[in-house]
Amino acid sequence: MEKTICLYGGSIFDGERLYPKGAVLFNEEGIIQVIEGDDIPRAGGSFNVHGQLIAPGFVDLHSDALEKCIEMRPGIYFDAEFALQNLNRRLSACGITTFCHAVSFADNELGLRSSEKAEDLVRLIRLYSQTHKTTIRHMVHARYEIGSMRGLEILMRLLDERLIDAVSFMDHTPGQGQFKTIQSFVEYYGDTYKLSREEITCMVDQKKRTREIGWEKVADLALRIREDRLPFLSHDDDSPEKVALVKELGVSASEFPVTIEAAGAAKARRMKVFMGAPNLIRGQSTNGHLKALDTITRGVCDGLVSDYYPECLLQAPFTASKKYNLDFEETMKLVTSNPGDYLNQDTRAGRLVSGAPADLITVDHFGPWAKIAQTWVSGRCIYNSNIENVL
């Protein structure tokens, strides 16, 4: 018989509502009961969280963090499994219990972003997720660069093997999307990878040549994604026309739209909109595009992702509430139940309800920056910063 754990003595957010006081009972099989008020049942393991917030573990739909951990500096690589193990520990301390590795499938890109290296990463993530080494739920979000012929072939094979959990389309051809001008493309690759203008010009020409045929070929991949009923996203949408195009392909979410018009068009077409938590924390986009705060205040944001900085996911709802006076329940949904429902509503990830996975966190939110006190996955405590109350 599984040991029942009871966390009590703090406020509770269950994925929908915030309870000022209550308790959560769970075991390794899942959540047993969420109790509001002072009537606290005693269980085999009862732990007072001393006013901390009890909440579902965070659900992160998109993060490039593994790429950053492997290639810490441009051209400086570390062993991928070493990076993955370190990232796993880091995510536990961030309260992220379901994590989608954004892996890029692109031809003729720099650094890790090649289709062959992407396949190796996907297989490593899947293998690692099935071992005792992992503490959180690792998933794969495949990012397909329009025009990548080799990437299309490899991605279709990985879909055949059921190794992909979500797919997004991205188009980094300069003149649209993330790179509105050729100059912004030149500055990014020149600064990041120290390329000459001639080398960057060759990249631009290659992308322009493959883009048109790429959009023609992408219909087959879109059909396959729809047939598999996978979460299907579009990256860096910049106009209502782009949103209309991807919607016709079956895309159900727009991530990082670069204009408020694109975000609004996506919502009007009943698509989800996901923005970056680092954007909200910093108060601006890295590339000077749409602010996450503007999408939240206008009611067109459904969720936040860590993008490249996992620690930002925890801070986002507290920053939104404390700094911008936004409703705390609504901002907590952006990092828990909303992305959890989009990823797979049947799993009830991001919710504390009877029968849901016992993935939950306790948060010390009393200082200027929130911090994770405990992280539980499948009813097991995988991280604990409460030295005086080691479980």
21 and 166 together in one domain: no
Q: For position 27, what pLDDT does the model report?
A: 95
Could you give the CA distance from residue 17 to residue 81 in angstroms, rounded to a whole number? Answer: 39
334 and 197 together in one domain: yes
Count of the separate structural domains present in the chain: 2
Mean pLDDT of 231-256: 95
91 and 165 together in one domain: yes
Residue 390 pLDDT exceeds 80: no
252 and 368 together in one domain: no
25 and 72 together in one domain: no
Residue 101: which region, alpha, beta or left (left: phi > 0; alpha: psi -120 to 50)?
A: beta
Mean pLDDT of 40-51: 83
Q: Is 22 helix (H, G, I), strand (E, B) or coil?
A: strand
Residue 191 pLDDT exceeds 60: no
- Per residue in 62-121, pLDDT (tens digit) is 999 999 999 988 888 999 999 999 999 999 999 999 999 999 998 765 556 678 899 999
Q: For position 124, what pLDDT does the model report?
A: 97
Range of the domain at 73: 58-347
Reported as a pLDDT band with limits 50, 70 and 90, residue 201 is low
Contact 78, 346 (CB under 8 A): no
User: What is the reported pTM?
Assistant: 0.89
246 and 162 together in one domain: yes
178 and 326 together in one domain: yes
- Per residue in 275-322, pLDDT (tens digit) is 999 999 999 998 888 999 999 999 999 999 999 999 999 999 999 999
151 and 234 together in one domain: yes
237 and 368 together in one domain: no
Residue 171 pLDDT exceeds 90: no
152 and 297 together in one domain: yes
* Mean predicted lDDT score pLDDT of the chain: 89
Task: Count H helices and E strands in the chain, helices first.
Answer: 13, 18
Residue 160 pLDDT exceeds 60: yes
Instruction: Report percent pLDDT > 70 for the chain.
Output: 85
Tell me the DSSP string of 40-82. Answer: ----SEEEE-TTPEEEEPEEEEEE-HHHHHHEEETTEE--HHH
365 and 321 together in one domain: no
Provide the CATH number for the domain around residue 299. Answer: 3.20.20.140
Reported as a pLDDT band with limits 50, 70 and 90, residue 207 is low
Provide the CATH number for the domain around residue 18. Answer: 2.30.40.10
114 and 260 together in one domain: yes
